[in-house]
Amino acid sequence: MTYSTINCRFGCRCVTSKKGFTLIELMVAMAVAGIVLMAIYSAYQTQSSINRTQTVVLNMQQNIRGAMYLLESEIRSAGYEQNATKTFSITDIRFRDINNGLNLNGNSSITFTSDLNDDGAIDTNETFSFSIFDYPVGTPDGILDLARDNGAGRQIIAESIQALFLAYAYDNDGDGRLDTSANGNIIWAFDSDNNNTLDRNLDTNDNGQIDINDAAAGIPIGGSAIAIDKIRAIRVWLLARTKTPILKYTDNNTYVVGNRRITPNDNYKRELLVTTIKARNLGLE
Ligand SMILES: [Ca+2]
Ligand SMILES: [Ca+2]
Ligand SMILES: [Ca+2]
Ligand SMILES: [Ca+2]
């Protein structure tokens, strides 16, 4: 490039180019611009991926909290009645597959009746059940969901609920208190053979906690199996999953969901909620 010097009007001597930019200068300028643009784009990508992640995680949290709230409020307040007849009861606690077929490897389900109009009889819309299915039925998307059925078939009430487990505390000796173990812990039992009776205790080391240190199979509760009309409290495990995978995230946690041990090793985020419901109409003081 050739340069010439001129006197500019500020009195200084400026260097100017007569022939514009050379190819090399242009290439350098374009390369610098490219690097800057790529940095901006990458920052944008990162930010929008963080936003996407936050949105899917937030959706999951709202789903699981909504689901637990509904389960809790319906099971707790169902059967509230003024008259003396006991018309609220749990009628089915068996494990079911997503098509509602009985299946020990499926999720927990619960069916109970509630005398909503307090007429002492169970009418057609006074039986409720909760279970896991894959909505939309007929064209399932592989993401499991929580269903509620009040007689009109299973309706979706929360999406992307991966697992549901229910365990039960009972008062078999009729003293108005929950039955306890040798160490004085409440016995949280489940129906290990899917015949609608409680027969195994989840807290196999009898320390009052249900966690990874307990044998997944549970231990026999001792004596004969407990009829489900002795149930006085319900413990609920709900495991939710994000609907889409999360970039650069691996879920290698192990979730204790009742007697299930779930280690996903995939790229979805999850949330586990566990709560205890004392049904106020089930005869506990
Ligand atoms: Ca009724
Ligand atoms: Ca689904
Ligand atoms: Ca049983
Ligand atoms: Ca334990």
pLDDT digits (tens, 9 = 90+) for 131-148: 999 999 999 999 999 999
- Residue 2 — pLDDT band, cuts 50, 70, 90? very low
Flag whether pLDDT at 33 surpasses 90: yes
Query: Cα–Cα distance between 180 and 65 in angstroms, integer?
Result: 30
- Residue 126 — pLDDT band, cuts 50, 70, 90? confident
- Residue 233 — pLDDT band, cuts 50, 70, 90? very high
Flag whether pLDDT at 26 surpasses 70: yes
Report CA(123)–ligand 4 centroid distance (Å).
Answer: 41
What ligand has the least distance to the C-alpha of 202? Answer: 4
The answer to which of 13-22, 72-81, 117-126, 136-145 has the lowest mean pLDDT is: 13-22
Distance of CA 127 to the CA centre of its chain: 24
- Residue 86 — pLDDT band, cuts 50, 70, 90? low
Report CA(181)–ligand 4 centroid distance (Å).
Answer: 12
Report CA(160)–ligand 1 centroid distance (Å).
Answer: 33
Give me the percent of the chain exceeding a pLDDT of 70.
Answer: 87
Question: pLDDT digits over 145-159, tens only?
Answer: 999 999 899 999 999
106 membership: H or E segment, kind and range: none
- Measured in degrees and rounded to the nearest 5, phi and psi for residue 40 equal -65, -45
Tell me the pairing of strands 155-158 and 145-149. antiparallel
What ligand has the least distance to the C-alpha of 117? Answer: 1
For residue 230, the SS3 value is helix
Report CA(185)–ligand 4 centroid distance (Å).
Answer: 10
What ligand has the least distance to the C-alpha of 81? Answer: 1
Question: Which is higher by pLDDT, 49 or 178?
Answer: 178
- The residue ranges of every structural domain in the chain are 61-278
Report CA(95)–ligand 1 centroid distance (Å).
Answer: 27
For residue 38, the SS3 value is helix
Beta carbons within 8 Å of 274's beta carbon, 6+ residues apart: 235, 236, 237, 238
Question: Which is higher by pLDDT, 107 or 14?
Answer: 107
Report CA(125)–ligand 1 centroid distance (Å).
Answer: 8
What ligand has the least distance to the C-alpha of 136? Answer: 2
Report CA(130)–ligand 2 centroid distance (Å).
Answer: 15
Amino acid at 238: L
Question: pLDDT digits over 238-273, tens only?
Answer: 999 999 999 899 999 999 999 999 999 999 999 999
- Residue written as token pair 């990458």: 42
Predicted pLDDT at 8: 52
What ligand has the least distance to the C-alpha of 161? Answer: 2
Predicted pLDDT at 283: 56
Flag whether pLDDT at 70 surpasses 50: yes
